[in-house]
Amino acid sequence: MKQHSLMVARPVLTLLFACSVLACSKPAEKPKYDPGVTDTEIKIGQTMPYSGPASAYGTIGRAEAAYFKKINEAGGINGRKINFISVDDSYSPPKAVEQVRKLVEEDQVLAIFQPLGTPSNTAIQKYLNTKKVPQLFVSTGATKWGDPKQFPWTIGFNPSYQLEAKTYAEHLLKTNPNAKAAVLYQNDDFGKDYLTGLKEKLGAKASMIVKEVSYEVTDATIDSQMATLQASGATVFFNIATPKFAAQAIRKAFDSGWKPVQYLSNVSASVGSVLTPAGLDKSAGVITTAYLKDPTDKRWDNDPAMKEYLAFLAKYYPEAKPIDGSNLYGMVAAQTLEQVLKQCGSDLTRENVMKQAASLKDFAPNLLQPGVKMNTGPDDFFVFDSLTLAKFSGTTWEPLTN
């Protein structure tokens, strides 16, 4: 009897022993999920102005949705498909707050990706940081999104307006340190942020700015402002305007005989959408910074990245207008999120998402201008840290080397 039970017991015990050894030797790789993540999907939320005064930018959200559709068809990221929930906020901060609360509390998304517009983002920033939900790659250039100490859950994307302004100011100080400058700026966060950056970088020489004049988006024309600027005797002109007004300014600066050295905000640097209506010959000599390739610039006609972009739009977002640079921007932003999520692996907690977003090392999707890379770190929440200058030749943008 005793022998019989031992005979059964021994193999069982051995088996038990073996199992326990196996169990202890290698802890299984357990995936960590926060709300919005399962083994097969990652929920990402977004607010975009699909209606209202800024509805032109709604195409960014659509381009991003198209890109996620593309990667889902290819199997997703690490086997998980992206469930992209993008809703309308009409560029209204109260509506943005409402929609973001719905996305976080009802839809339980992992993160809010590329919310657009400084006012809307200011409205939701405190809420998202209190709730510890990533406010990823904010789609505006306001400088305040790169503040990891106060707002560790918010990270910007667009090169900050102040960075851009400083790039121009630096160039001006180097090439034309005694000139008089005039500034036209849009009377909102975009224009004012720029102006602050310009003045800061010019520092002691801020008095170079002899005249600064604003305009509203409700103004029909900016003829009056241009007349004031021309009368100031300045020889340098900072054109801090959105496409429609920038084009009017370029045209007027030429037609009125002023013809200053002109720096143009990169939001209005599209060859097809802005410079052509303004007049290609009138735009010759204008200086801007570039971080994305311009789909209307002939320079990229044979570029494989550009061809890929056009093919992508044709297949996944056929109603899009390829010349609209916003679509290209959306694709690049979506690629950045793809990279971050890839870097997360199976640790898809909100904390890790922020950590990975702050660990981009020389990430350079091929739609970026040559030489431009994305870099972030725990203290550097600005995705783009430097910009290159370009000058318009009359047909395309050429890199400006000093």
Q: Which of residues 331-390 bind other proteins (CB under 8 A)?
A: none
Question: Which pair of tokens denotes residue 251?
Answer: 């045209």
Q: Pick from 14, 175, 224, 393: which binds other proteins (CB under 8 A)?
A: 224
From 81, 205, 244, 259, residue interacting with other proteins (rule: CB under 8 A) = 244
Distance (Å, rounded) from C-alpha 68 to C-alpha 345? 17
Please select the residue that binds other proteins; options are 60, 82, 87, 236, rule is CB under 8 A.
87
Residue 323 interacting with other proteins (CB under 8 A): yes
Collect all residues with Cβ–Cβ distance below 8 Å to 136 and sequence separation of at least 6: 111, 112, 113, 114, 155, 337, 340, 353, 354, 357
Residues 56-75 that bind other proteins (CB under 8 A): 56, 59, 62
Select 235 or 386, whichever has its Cβ closest to other proteins.
Answer: 235
305 binds other proteins (CB under 8 A): no
The alpha-helical segments, DSSP class H, found in 143-188 are: 161-175
CA 390 from centroid of its chain's CA atoms: 20
Among 31, 35, 81, 97, binds other proteins (CB under 8 A): 97
Rounded to a whole number of angstroms, the minimum distance from the CB of residue 252 to other proteins is: 9
Among all chains, which residue has been given the structure tokens 């045209």?
A: 251
Q: In sequence order, which residues have a C-beta less than 8 Å from that of residue 186 and are 6 or more positions away? A: 214, 215, 216, 217, 240, 241, 242, 245
Q: What tokens were used for 365? A: 């999707």
Q: Which of 225, 265, 343, 356 binds other proteins (CB under 8 A)?
A: 225
- Rg of the chain over CA atoms, in angstroms? 26
Instruction: Give, in order, the Cα–Cα distances in Å from 56 to each of 5, 53, 232, 273.
Output: 81, 8, 34, 13
CB of 287 to other proteins, least distance (A): 21
> Can residue 164 be called a binding residue for other proteins (CB under 8 A)?
no
Is the Cβ–Cβ distance between 72 and 338 less than 8 Å? no
Residue 281 or 308: the one with the smaller Cβ distance to other proteins is 281
284 near other proteins, rule: CB under 8 A: no
Distance between CA 265 and CA 163 in Å, rounded?
Answer: 11
Cα–Cα distance list, 230 to 178, 223, 286, 289, 339 (Å): 18, 10, 17, 24, 47
Asked if residues 363 and 143 have their Cβ atoms less than 8 Å apart, the reply is: no
| Residue 129 vs 339, nearer CB to other proteins | 129
The single residue among 47, 158, 230, 262 that binds other proteins, judged by CB under 8 A, is 230
Q: Which stretch binds other proteins (CB under 8 A): 27-35, 227-235, 286-294, 338-346?
A: 227-235
Position 318 contacts other proteins (CB under 8 A) = no
Nearer to other proteins, 152 or 272 (CB): 272
Interface region with other proteins, contact rule CB under 8 A, candidates 25-33, 93-101, 154-162, 363-371: 93-101
Binding site for other proteins (CB under 8 A): 50-53, 55-56, 59, 62, 87-88, 90-94, 97-98, 101-102, 105-106, 118-119, 122-123, 125-127, 187-189, 192, 213-221, 223-228, 230-231, 243-244, 247-248, 255-257, 270, 272-274, 276-277, 319, 321, 323-324
